A = this chain, B = another copy of it.
Amino acid sequence: MAKAKYQAVADEIRKRILSKIYPTKTLIPDQNTLAKEFGVSRMTVKKALDGIAREGLIYKQSGLGTYVLGDISIKTANDSPADAFNGLTEQQGAERVTSDVIDFSVAFATKDLQAKLDIGANDPVYNILRLRRLEGEPFILEHTFMPVKLVPDLTLSILKSSIYDYIHHELKLKFGGAYRKIHASLPTELDIAHLNATATEPILEVEQIVWLTTGQNIEYSTSRNLFNKRSYTVLDINNI
- Selected from B61, B118, B207, B213, the residue in CB contact (under 8 A) with A59 is B213
- The 19 listed contacts between A and B (C-beta, < 8 Å) are A25-B215, A59-B215, A69-B211, A73-B116, A73-B217, A74-B181, A74-B220, A79-B181, A82-B234, A174-B240, A178-B234, A178-B236, A178-B238, A179-B234, A179-B236, A181-B232, A185-B227, A200-B200, A202-B202
Complex CA–CA separation, A220 to B74 (angstroms): 9
Q: How many copies, total? A: 2
Q: Which of A197-230 contact B (CB under 8 A)?
A: 200, 202-204, 207-209, 211, 213-215, 217, 220, 227
A180, CB-defined interface residue at 8 Å: yes
Complex CA–CA separation, A204 to B176 (angstroms): 29
- CB neighbours of A115 from chain B (8 A): 73
Q: Which of A147-184 contact B (CB under 8 A)?
A: 174-184
A104, CB-defined interface residue at 8 Å: no
Q: Which of A62-115 contact B (CB under 8 A)?
A: 67-70, 72-75, 79, 82-85, 115
Instruction: Give the Cβ gap from A2 to chain B, nearest Cβ, in Å.
Output: 16
- CB neighbours of A56 from chain B (8 A): 177, 179
A235, CB-defined interface residue at 8 Å: yes
- CB neighbours of A25 from chain B (8 A): 215
A196, CB-defined interface residue at 8 Å: no
- CB neighbours of A59 from chain B (8 A): 176, 213-215
Question: Is B234's CB under 8 angstroms from A182's CB?
Answer: yes
- CB neighbours of A209 from chain B (8 A): 72-74
Question: Is A175's CB under 8 angstroms from B118's CB?
Answer: no
A192, CB-defined interface residue at 8 Å: no
- Selected from B82, B116, B182, B213, the residue in CB contact (under 8 A) with A61 is B213
Question: Is A231's CB under 8 angstroms from B182's CB?
Answer: yes
- Selected from B211, B217, B227, B233, the residue in CB contact (under 8 A) with A186 is B227
Question: Is B238's CB under 8 angstroms from A177's CB?
Answer: yes
What is the chain B residue whose CB lies nearest that of A72? B179
Complex CA–CA separation, A209 to B233 (angstroms): 11
Instruction: Give the Cβ gap from A173 to chain B, nearest Cβ, in Å.
Output: 11
